[in-house]
Amino acid sequence: MPRGQLKRAALYLRVSTDGQTVENQRMVLLEVAERRGWPVVAIYEDAGISGAGGRDKRPGFDRMLKDAARRRFDVLMVAAVDRLGRSTATVSVALAELAAAGVEPYSHREGMDGTTAYGRAMLNMASVFAELERDLIRDRVKAGLARAKAQGRRLGRPTISGATEAEIRAQLAAGTGVLKVARTLGVGVSTVQRVKGTAAAAATL
């Protein structure tokens, strides 16, 4: 990049489930880019896609790395290093590809950028601890489920009565929106969506 030229920034945004949104990540990173004087030239998104998947399962991630290799931006900004991937290996490979392309990674949560070898090493270490934290959480959840099962507690999503389900179907059939049905009957939005999906599937039989 010629001396004095502004660094071109790209954002990579990812959330693991459809119930989450990338908007908070977008807002924070755009604010940082503006503060640092980095024009944002590209935004890549993978919404509702796990970081455990490879490049073939993450189209935004794949497109971002290809554009990095084409030198289309100088800095890649992420809200946290685990947005790049859920394993240390995935993050390390991504950081290596970005470094080979001359792209500097910036991770907001960790407050780290990859303009130096030290910064890149710290980003790799952050990915190691993020993976460890996920493994510990997973182990605690498994232990909790096993304990609940041993105590005879029923696991899984709570059920609703037949009358409530019938009322949900009736209100949906009358054209009432999912959110309003959920508020009116005091049930979760996911419950209404499940009933709606079941009704739609039955209608196609």
Three-state SS string over the chain comes to: CCCCCCCCEEEEEEECCCCCCCHHHHHHHHHHHHHHCCCEEEEEEEECCCCCCCHHHCHHHHHHHHHHHCCCCCEEEECCHHHCCCCHHHHHHHHHHHHHCCCEEEECCCCEECCCHHHHHHHHHHHHHHHHHHHHHHHHHHHHHHHHHHCCCCCCCCCCCHHHHHHHHHHHHCCCCHHHHHHHHCCCHHHHHHHHHHHHHHHCC
Decide if 138 is inside a domain. Answer: no
| Average pLDDT of the residues in 149-154 | 69
- For 78-101, write each residue's pLDDT tens digit: 999 889 887 777 877 888 888 889
Decide if 152 is inside a domain. Answer: no
Report pLDDT for 10. 97
Same-domain check for residues 44 and 109: yes
- Binning pLDDT at 50, 70 and 90, where does residue 205 land? very low
Range of the domain at 194: 162-200
The CA distance from 150 to 140, in Å, is 15
Same-domain check for residues 113 and 178: no
* Catalytic residue list: 16
- For 93-142, write each residue's pLDDT tens digit: 888 888 889 898 898 987 776 655 666 666 666 556 556 555 666 667 67
Same-domain check for residues 50 and 114: yes
Decide if 79 is inside a domain. Answer: yes
Report pLDDT for 138. 66
Decide if 4 is inside a domain. Answer: no
Examine the fold and report which residue of 86, 114, 131 is the final residue of a domain before the chain moves on.
131
> 40-47 and 9-15: which strand pairing?
parallel
Examine the fold and report which residue of 112, 131, 150 is the final residue of a domain before the chain moves on.
131
Decide if 15 is inside a domain. Answer: yes
Does residue 178 register a pLDDT over 90?
no
Decide if 24 is inside a domain. Answer: yes
Decide if 121 is inside a domain. Answer: yes
Number of structural domains in the chain: 2
Same-domain check for residues 169 and 111: no
Mean pLDDT for all residues in the chain: 81
Decide if 187 is inside a domain. Answer: yes
Same-domain check for residues 44 and 88: yes
Same-domain check for residues 19 and 105: yes
Q: pTM score > 0.85 for this model?
A: no
